[in-house]
Amino acid sequence: MGYNAEGELGDGTTTDRNSPVLIATGVASVEAAGVHSLFVKPNGQLWAMGLNGNGQLGDGTTTTRLSPVLIT
């Protein structure tokens, strides 16, 4: 929940949320920055979403991601 102007909540929108929205299950850890977020699954997979203008998501692009993208 919270501010979502850059898709950092990963729910496929840029709509701010006042209550939680399920994005993923079985998450081991989460990191939230100003305009992007990351989570790690128990199997070690890293997922990222949000602003990516400088490649900060690590997916090899500068495309902003409104939904989680697997970082390989």
Digit-coded pLDDT (tens) for 7-34: 999 999 999 999 999 999 999 999 999 9
pTM for the predicted model, two decimal places = 0.94
Q: Give the side-chain half-sphere CA count within 13 A for 57.
A: 29
β-pair type (65-71, 46-50): antiparallel
Rounded Cα–Cα distance for residues 26 and 53 (Å) = 28
Q: How far apart are CA 55 and CA 26, in angstroms?
A: 26
- The confidence band for 66, taking pLDDT boundaries of 50, 70 and 90, is very high
What does the pLDDT average to over 60-64? 98
**Looking at residue 36, what is its pLDDT?**
97
Residue 52 and residue 29: Cα distance in Å, rounded? 20
pLDDT of residue 63: 98
